[in-house]
Amino acid sequence: MAVGAGNRNPEAGPASQQDMRRQNLAVVLGTVADAVAGQGPLSRADVAGLTGLTRAAVSSLVDELIGRGALTELETAPSGRVGRPGRALAVSSCGPAGLGLEVGVSHLGACVVDLRGESRVWRRVERANAGRPARRVLAELAELGAEAQAEAAGLGLHVEGRVLAVPGVVPTARQGLIEHAPNLGWHAVRPADHWPDPDTVPVPENEANLGALAEYWQAEHGAETFVHVSAEAGIGAALIVDGQLFRGARGFAGELGHIPVDPDGVPCPCGARGCLEQYAGEAAVLREAGLAATADPVVLLADRAAAGDPAALRALDRAGRALGLALASAVNLIDPDALVLGGAYAELGEWLLPAVRAELAARVTVRPWDPEALHCSALGRRGALLGAALLTVRRIIADPTLLPVA
């Protein structure tokens, strides 16, 4: 499932002509997809120049990519430059697309992203999902997804893959299984067992992983190795390493919420003591701020903090210091380019960042550390759903042969 899963390893086996063709299709599509606005649209000749492939090879590859619906080629207006008008390549804005789905503790979501990475359909409905039977939640989500797909079809988009963001553990070794989603009360849920239409079953993926991938693909900070921390009911974190999701040996990497920040501190329901979640988790922050749970506790906290409420400010400062302490361990171990506060934390950044930065400055001392390397995600709570849709799109760009030939 990880992007780049198709990367060749010399130990994996001999290279074939077919591998070369696949790799070069990906190089050409990736080159057109990565062409930045300033570079303007690329011609076949431009692609040959950028990739080092011959013009003949590029033409054959481009023709195949057009046939698979991944590229379009348009007559461009005269550019004022000498010579005949060029033909500009572009990644298709209608055609292949990815459907993202999301089960949150208090909402359902569906979105469709085109091959350019643009979100074209976006739906989100509030639902109290905690403790509801998975079958009912997933049936409602399937309906939302079908509506989104129908709307996308009206825009000329064809869904090529479906990914489901869940706040739970999705082990690498058992694809298709949500092993445990504590805040939903789900154990060993396999979406395929509950999904009404066997043709549209989505592949589940941890929402923190998807938020981190969306951040990598859409943010412009240029970090290739970073820790992305998000929070809904629990604390989720994920690691992007050299531009790829790092899952760990069994798919459990990034469990920041149970890093000990006060070894002899508050007992945690997990059985340990002093876990980060007891200081920076939603319930802990609300309790410290003297607030009861509401429909949107993040907005409530932000409102109170903006109004200068001392208890809210104190709770966010305490959460920020605990986050900073846990992130200091992450920096010491992983040496990331950047740390990103995403999800709900992004919306509370104004009050969290100073405390997190102060703790990092005090704890990360044996190597250079730039305080600006910690920042908030621009995607906020949209990240996970966006990442779910983008995953299909990025897999296609990494291997265009996943698309059927027209």
Q: Which residues contact its own copies (rule: CB under 8 A)?
A: 4, 6-11, 13-15, 19-20, 23-24, 26-27, 30, 51-53, 57, 169, 223-225, 237, 239, 241, 246-256, 258-263, 270-272, 325-326, 328-330, 332-337, 362-368, 398-399
Distance CA 392, CA 321 (A): 37
Neighbours of 156 (CB within 10 A): 13
> 289: part of which helix (H) or strand (E)?
none
DSSP code per residue over 128-140: --TTS-HHHHHHH
| Nearest CB to its own copies, comparing residues 51 and 106 | 51
Which amino acid is residue 294, in one-letter code?
T
Q: Residue 227 Cβ, how far from its own copies at the closest point, in Å? A: 8
The rounded distance, in Å, linking the Cα atoms of 71 and 79 is: 21
Shortest Cβ 139–its own copies spacing (Å): 29
Rounded to an integer, what distance in angstroms lies between the CA atom of residue 341 and that of residue 380?
Answer: 8
Q: Closest approach of Cβ 161 to its own copies, in Å?
A: 18
Report the length, in residues, of the chain: 406
Nearer to its own copies, 10 or 83 (CB): 10
Judged by CB, which is closer to its own copies: 165, or 259? 259
The nearer residue to its own copies, 148 or 396, going by C-beta atoms, is 396
Q: How far is the CB of 307 from its own copies (least distance, A)?
A: 31
Q: Which residues does residue 241 pair with via DSSP β-bridges, in sequence order?
A: 244
Tokens, residue 43: 């011609």
The strand ranges marked E within 46-177 are 71-75, 87-91, 95-103, 107-114, 119-126, 157-166
Supply the minimum distance, in Å, between the C-beta of residue 83 and its own copies: 26
Q: How far apart are CA 276 and CA 256, in angstroms?
A: 7
Give the whole-angstrom CA distance, residue 260 versus residue 300: 28
Supply the minimum distance, in Å, between the C-beta of residue 117 and its own copies.
16
